[in-house]
Amino acid sequence: MCGIVGYTGGSQAAPILLEGLARLEYRGYDSAGIAINNGEKIDVVKAMGRLAVLCDKCGNGRDVPGNIGIGHTRWATHGRPSDVNSHPHVSENGRIAIVHNGIIENYAQLKEMLINRGRVFKSETDTEVAAQLIDYYYNGNILEAVARAVRELEGSYALGIICADEPDTIVGVKSHAPLIVAYGEDGNFFASDVMAVLNYTKTVSYLDDDEIAVVRSDGIKFYSPFLDEIKKEKYVVDWDIKAADKCGYEHYMFKEIMEQPEAVRRTIEPYIRDGRADLSDVLDREYIKNVSRIFIVACGSSYHVGVIAKYNIEKLARIPVEVVLASEFRYCDPIIDKNTLVICISQSGETADTLEAQNEAKRLGAVTLAIVNVEGSAIAKGADKVIYTKAGPEIAVATTKAYSTQLAVTVLIALYAAECRNSLSEDEYGIILKELLAVPEKMMKILNDKANIQYLAYQHFNNEDLFFIGRNIDYALSLEGSLKLKEISYIHSEAYAAGELKHGTISLVVDDTLVIAVASYGRLVDKTLSNALEVKARGARVMGITTESLKEKVAKATDEIITIPDTHEVLLPSLAVLPLQLFAYYVALYRGCDIDKPRNLAKSVTVE
The model's confidence at residue 194, banded by pLDDT at 50, 70 and 90, is confident
DSSP 8-state secondary structure symbol assigned to residue 208: P
At 241, the pLDDT band (50, 70, 90 cuts) reads low
On the 0-12 / 13-18 / 19+ scale of CB atoms within 10 A, 173 is: buried
Quote the pTM value.
Answer: 0.81
Residues in a beta bridge with 100 = 159
461-494 pLDDT per residue, tens: 988 889 999 999 999 999 999 999 999 999 999 9
Mean pLDDT, the chain, integer? 90
Instruction: Give the E-state strand segments of 184-279 in sequence order.
Output: 187-191, 203-206, 212-216, 219-223, 229-230, 235-236, 272-273, 276-277
C-alpha 454/C-alpha 140 separation (Å) is 62
Reported as a single tens digit per residue, the pLDDT across 106-139 is: 989 999 999 999 898 888 888 899 999 999 999 9
SS3 599: coil
- 603 annotated active-site: yes
Indicate the residue type of 170.
I
Q: Average pLDDT for residues 565-578, to the nearest whole number? A: 97
Q: How far apart are CA 436 and CA 410, in angstroms?
A: 11
Q: Is the pLDDT of residue 79 over 60?
A: no
Q: Is the model's pLDDT at 228 over the cut of 90?
A: yes
Model confidence over 148-186: pLDDT tens digits? 999 999 988 899 999 999 999 999 999 888 899 999 999
CA dihedral 150→153→157→158, nearest 10 degrees, is -10
Between strands 68-74 and 31-37, the pairing is: antiparallel
Q: What is the reported pLDDT for 243? A: 65
CATH topology of domain 449-593: Rossmann fold (3.40.50)
How many distinct helices (H) and strands (E) make up the chain? 19, 27
Q: Please tell me the predicted confidence (pLDDT) of residue 598.
A: 83
Nearest to 189 by CA among 2, 394, 397, 21: 21
Distance CA 339, CA 284 (A): 12
> What is the predicted pLDDT for the residue at 491?
94
Give the closest residue to 158 by CA, choosing from 219, 207, 94, 223.
Answer: 207
**pLDDT(603) > 60:** no
pLDDT given for residue 604 in this prediction: 56
**Catalytically annotated residue among 390, 401, 442, 603:** 603
The per-residue pLDDT for 71 is: 92
Q: Cα 72 to the chain's mean position, in Å?
A: 19
Q: Catalytic: which of 2, 55, 163, 299?
A: 2
Does domain 3-237 fall under CATH 3.60.20.10? My reply is yes
The sheet carrying 155-163 orders its strands as 89-90, 96-104, 155-163, 166-175, 212-216, 219-223, 229-230
Parallel, antiparallel, or unpaired: how do β-strands 235-236 and 203-206 relate?
antiparallel
Residue 526 has pLDDT above 70, yes or no: yes
Q: Which of 440, 437, 408, 427 is nearest to 309 (CA)?
A: 408
Task: Look at residue 245 and tell me whether its pLDDT is greater than 80.
Answer: no
- Which residue, among 140, 85, 93, 88, has the nearest Cα to 114 in the 3D structure? 93
Query: Which amino acid is it at 576?
Result: A
Same fold? 244-447, 449-593? yes
Helices 401-420 and 260-268, interaxial angle, to 10°? 30
Looking at 1.20.120.450, 3.40.50.10490, 1.10.10.10, 3.40.47.10, the CATH number of the domain 244-447 comes to: 3.40.50.10490
Please report, for the chain, the start and end positions of each structural domain, with discontinuous segments joined by +: 3-237, 244-447, 449-593
